[in-house]
Structure 1
Amino acid sequence: MKTVNIGGVPEHFNLAWHLTIDSGAYEKQGINLNWIDYPEGTGAMCKALRSGEIDMAVILTEGIIKDIIAGNPSKIIQTYVQTPLIWGVHVAQNSNYKTSEDLKGTKAAISRYGSGSHLMAYVHAKNHNWDLKTDLNFEIINDLNGAVKGLTEGDADYFLWEKFMTKPLVDQKVFRHIGDCPSPWPCFVIAAREDFISSNSSTIKSILNIINNTTSEFKDIPSIDKTIAHQYNQKIEDVQDWLKLTESSQQLTDEATVIEVQKQLFALDIIPKTVDYNKLTALI
């Protein structure tokens, strides 16, 4: 049995992985797929890939591109979710801020530097024509629970996180949702360490075949909306909205997308250079 460690966020996007693991599909192929949750998100997974703690990750597109350029010895092997991630802009329920424009020069809560919440704060700032050097400030809060504490206690002023995962906190009047900031690219990719790719291509192919068969039919699974709502503490109408807005992918991320993401990250001064497509991707 070949053990493969894979990381991802504990969110509804990754339910398909848990369904396939629970079904025993990987074990039938001689694979012990060990899923590790990373509530801290992309920055933590980049670190785990670098250290060898995990072999693969389901990770935000912008975050892994940035980290590969910064020296992470990994490659993107497939797009996982083709549609953008809808980042909600949140403030504490009792905050005086009413609109995104009010947040100029205030402090953004981020899970860690290099995370999606960090990088998307730049996209949000650019969308509002802020000065990226003077109008952005950050407070590291680690995860969603840290954001609740940070915003409630005033250590930070706003927080960008996936809109549907934070909806229960809005419903509970912990956060107030004041806007959206969709990522301008496909949101999640599957990445793997280069050394793992070079010696485990057949194992990776088996894993991708299993997960792709499930994601391609995910919306047709009976009562999938009820399953997601129950497992992730969501209202069923919110889950149904999320399902309408979300499309998976079973293909390697195309060159035009990789170039466009790099262009935008470079323009935001998030990456120091752009690199060739084959430096960032690997065809399995």
Structure 2
Amino acid sequence: MTKVNIGGVPEHFNLAWYLTLKEGEYKDENINLRWHDYYGGTGAMCKALRDGDIDIAVILTEGIVKDIIAGNPSKIVQTFVQTPLHWGVHVAQNSTYKTVADLKGTKAAISRYGSGSHLMAYINAQNHNWDLEKDLDFEVIKNLDGAVEGLTQGRGDYFLWEKFTTKPLVDNGIFRRIDNCPSPWPCFVIAVREDFIKNNEAELKTILDIINNTTREFKDIPSIDKTIANRYEQQLDDVQEWLGITEWSQELIDKKTLNNVQKELFALNIIPEIVNYETLTHKL
């Protein structure tokens, strides 16, 4: 049996992986797929791919593009979620900040450098015409729990994270969401270490076939909204709203979209150059 390590954030986007693992679909194909939760998000998964701790990551598009260009020996093999990620801009409940304009020049809490929360702080700043040199500052808080502690204690002034994941914190009066900042591209892709692609392409195709069969019909699973609400401790109407705006993909991200991602990151000085499509992707 081939052992395969895969990582992702422990959020509702990845429930399809849990369902297929629970049903033993990979073991039926002689694949021992082991899922690893990465509470630290994209930056932690980039490190895990580099270190060989995982073979596959379900990861934010902008984060893995940046890290492949920086030397991560991995390739994007598929888009996982086609629609943008809806980031909320959060402050502590007792914060004096009321609008995004109030946050100009203050400190963004980020899980780590190179993470989605870090890169999207740049996108948010650009959206509001801030000076990227003078108006951005960062405080590393590791994960969502770290953000709760950091913002509450004044270590960091605002925090960008997927708004449905943080909605319970808003409902419970820990955070206030003062704005939204959608990512301007498909939010999640599947990235795989190059050595794994080279040595296990057949197993990789099988894994993708299994997960794609589930994501194609994900919204039609009976009571899937209630399952998500219970598992991730979310309100049913929030889950239904999320399902209504989220679309999965079974295709490789296209060249035009990936060029647009790179152009945006390059304009923000997040990547040093724009590379060709084949440097970032592998078509199975």
What TM bracket, shorter-length normalisation? Answer: over 0.9
Cα distance in structure 1, aligned partners of 2:211 and 2:24: 12
TM-score (norm 2): 1.00
Cα RMSD, aligned residues only: 0.3
Paired position in structure 2 for 1:108? 108
**What do the CA deviations read for 1:124-168 (whole angstroms, capped 9, x no partner)?**
000000000110000000000000000000011000000000000
What code does the residue aligned with 2:246 have? T
Cα distance in structure 1, aligned partners of 2:155 and 2:101: 19
Please list, as runs of the form range in 1=range in 2, the aligned pairs for 1:221-232 lying within 5 A after superposition: 221-232=221-232
Paired position in structure 2 for 1:213? 213
> Runs in 1 of length 4+ with deviation above 4 angstroms?
none
1:257 pairs with 2:267: no
What code does the residue aligned with 2:215 have? T
Cα distance in structure 2, aligned partners of 1:260 and 1:200: 30
Superposition deviation, residue 24 in structure 1:
0.5
Paired position in structure 1 for 2:165? 165
Q: Percent identity?
A: 71
What code does the residue aligned with 1:60 have? L
Paired position in structure 1 for 2:268? 268
Please list every run of 5 or more consecutive structure 2 residues that lacks an aligned counterpart in the other structure.
none
Superposition deviation, residue 170 in structure 1:
0.2
1:121 pairs with 2:114: no
What code does the residue aligned with 1:218 have? F
Paired position in structure 2 for 1:12? 12
Paired position in structure 2 for 1:91? 91
Paired position in structure 2 for 1:29? 29
What code does the residue aligned with 2:192 have? A
Superposition deviation, residue 14 in structure 1:
0.2
Task: Describe the SS at the equivalent of 1:54.
Answer: coil
Paired position in structure 2 for 1:57? 57
Task: Describe the SS at the equivalent of 1:47.
Answer: helix
Paired position in structure 2 for 1:47? 47
Superposition deviation, residue 59 in structure 1:
0.1
Superposition deviation, residue 78 in structure 1:
0.1
Cα distance in structure 2, aligned partners of 1:186 and 1:148: 27
Superposition deviation, residue 246 in structure 1:
0.2
Superposition deviation, residue 277 in structure 1:
0.1
Cα distance in structure 2, aligned partners of 1:204 and 1:212: 12
Cα distance in structure 2, aligned partners of 1:172 and 1:141: 21
Task: Describe the SS at the equivalent of 2:72.
Answer: coil
Paired position in structure 2 for 1:240? 240
**What do the CA deviations read for 1:76-112 (whole angstroms, capped 9, x no partner)?**
0000000000000000000010011110000000000
Paired position in structure 2 for 1:181? 181
When the two structures are aligned, how many residues end up with a matched partner?
A: 284
**What do the CA deviations read for 1:232-273 (whole angstroms, capped 9, x no partner)?**
010000000000010000000100011000000000000000
Superposition deviation, residue 209 in structure 1:
0.2
Superposition deviation, residue 208 in structure 1:
0.3
TM-score (norm 1): 1.00
What code does the residue aligned with 2:58 have? V
Task: Describe the SS at the equivalent of 2:50.
Answer: helix
What code does the residue aligned with 1:276 have? N
Superposition deviation, residue 195 in structure 1:
0.5
What code does the residue aligned with 2:262 have? Q
Superposition deviation, residue 12 in structure 1:
0.3
Task: Describe the SS at the equivalent of 2:63.
Answer: helix
Task: Describe the SS at the equivalent of 2:34.
Answer: strand
Task: Describe the SS at the equivalent of 1:139.
Answer: strand
Cα distance in structure 2, aligned partners of 1:226 and 1:71: 41
Superposition deviation, residue 193 in structure 1:
0.3
Paired position in structure 2 for 1:136? 136
